[in-house]
Structure 1
């Protein structure tokens, strides 16, 4: 009985002309049956309101309620808005095409880009979140973080941020531009990946500790510097185990000397004398040589470095600091597996 009354109400409304307006109960089913494009609400006469059946990407149809401009009516025959008085002056109806949501917004009003440099400001305009504008983080808050709510520009590098740092050696590597940031480079298959970390406020990274230490003066902050416009290999100031690749005056890569060696003004990694004595020479195979460090009597480094060879078949024993006949040289460690730089 209820359906009958509803049908009578709709029929009476149509014939009374009251149906010639927007109705919220005209849902997607109005566009069923293959209807596509502008469609009249009332088929018997012109009406200012009409429905635009728009095809979505998935093939479904969505009904949009539209209204002709003032002075025009929707003609059910031509399916255009026409001049009400003379039946001419047809205009092309406005089509509301549903847009896909902007992936940069990720369904949120505020969202950071993958490089952690820009903050996307978005709004839901009825067809998913769309970008209104974007702000580049800078100054004291140069990084964008989705780890805070809402997303915003912050002073610390987010742990999940793509820093753009390329690992060229395993281990803990200082950041070339920020002394409070470090990179732990580890192999995954044949690729070196970066797990970035950062020190708490007031602390700086120490390669000697391979961790953070309290900053007591400006000298504790070590960053790479390159000569103006220079391209090549240069020492990492106050970090003798590391050196940098400079390109056009900017440090782009950080490299690490093998254990026990430092980058010198010769442009190579070598054992550096820090006290007098005899020490193993890692560059001579089978312990057949050693490095002798003697106190310097001239201006320059406090110790001079000399490479010596053991006589005959003798090998250098680091425990006694002598060449001996019966000392068995430990087997050289296997070389690390070949790795490729993470793109």
Structure 2
């Protein structure tokens, strides 16, 4: 039989432990937020039941109205689904019976070093250490649960957790109407929907993000994200024909560099390659899309800036073998033209009577 793991033996490790959290700390710690911070998660003009009460409500601000708080008349509870106060007997209050116990200090009358089960723990791993009449929440090590009788961390074979299958609601969803949307605190393209007091994570379509004020997915260029939420990295759509929506595959010239090219893999389940290989030819070579080869730059017709990526002072000009471009820091800063009967030769960096008919400058 596996021995119980007494907490007294690991007291020195308690302060390194943290309270168990879900994927969103903001939603889990919702009840400790200010009313303004709560509203920051919700769309404009959303009304909800203030945490740990049955008759206090909050109406979030919008672009025209300020935040408003109120309380129901005597004998009424706030109905979060209807957004109004009703007779208490006809309203199911998610905080009923908690008004006077939520802020109770369970360690007020306990001696230092006392261990108590954390009744808010979802899986019996949580416990409370009393120090100076204050509560310190912590968790048992992995695979262990807290036994309130022995006040120690034990294996699941030694104690049956009575709440193992208990459904724990998301704090942020308890006081809002069903189907209320909440912002994601890390990813702007994601959001939560409260269904039966549980937060379900959803994600916006590609190139869209969740607008915290309007409570819906909008174009990334128009979105207002939650303060701590980051926008997704722009999707690489090089391998997608944006006009037809058809996925592309094969070798393609880079639209910004004569020497670079992309390799798009075959689409997977109809989805285009979002991470195409981006390669570059050796110095002095350009990518030839027709022959799918890296070739001498003078044997490739490229309409981009031919001064890019080289240290030459002058280069041939596409479409006119008598003209030349003047380079500075990898960019064309001016053009010139050889005298009649002369042609510019990029190799010799001068005008010559011989027309080499380079493809680079051919019409």
- Greater relative contact order (Cα < 8 A, sep 6+): 2
Larger Rg: 1
TM-score when scaled to structure 1?
0.31
Please state which structure has a larger fraction of its residues in strand. 1
